[in-house]
């Protein structure tokens, strides 16, 4: 995760798991930063490490944030995966 944290332009990564699927959501400062990551060795290694767990090829979609609202609570509390 330290390498991902230092990736230029990466703002947030979330890994969500349901009964039979995993969804990874990432937010990027710019489309250019996302493209650079997608073409990087780090991204290729990530997908290669996941391959044995997949039952179908991963799908990738890019969406643009139209609205973001922050609550009064921190997004990640310090004891729930936040820094510290």
pLDDT tens per residue across span 15-69? 888 888 888 899 999 999 999 999 999 999 988 888 888 888 888 899 988 998 8
The band of 82, judged by pLDDT with boundaries at 50, 70 and 90, is low
Is-contact 16 23, C-beta < 8 A? yes
Cα 30 versus chain centre, distance: 14
Tokens encoding 70: 């922050």
Element (H, E) at 5: helix 2-5
Looking at residue 80, what is its pLDDT? 57
Kindly give, in sequence order, each residue whose CB lies less than 8 Å from that of residue 16, ignoring residues fewer than 6 positions away.
22, 23, 24, 25
Structural domains of the chain, with CATH: 1-84 (3.30.70)
């Amino acid at each position: 995760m330290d390498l991902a944290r230092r990736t230029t332009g990466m703002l947030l990564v979330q890994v969500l798991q349901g009964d039979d699927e995993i969804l990874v959501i990432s937010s990027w400062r710019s489309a250019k930063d996302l493209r650079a990551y997608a073409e990087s060795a780090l991204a290729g290694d990530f997908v290669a490490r996941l391959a044995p767990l997949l039952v179908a090829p991963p799908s990738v979609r890019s969406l643009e944030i139209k609205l973001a609202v922050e609550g009064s609570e921190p997004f990640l509390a310090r004891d729930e995966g936040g820094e510290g």
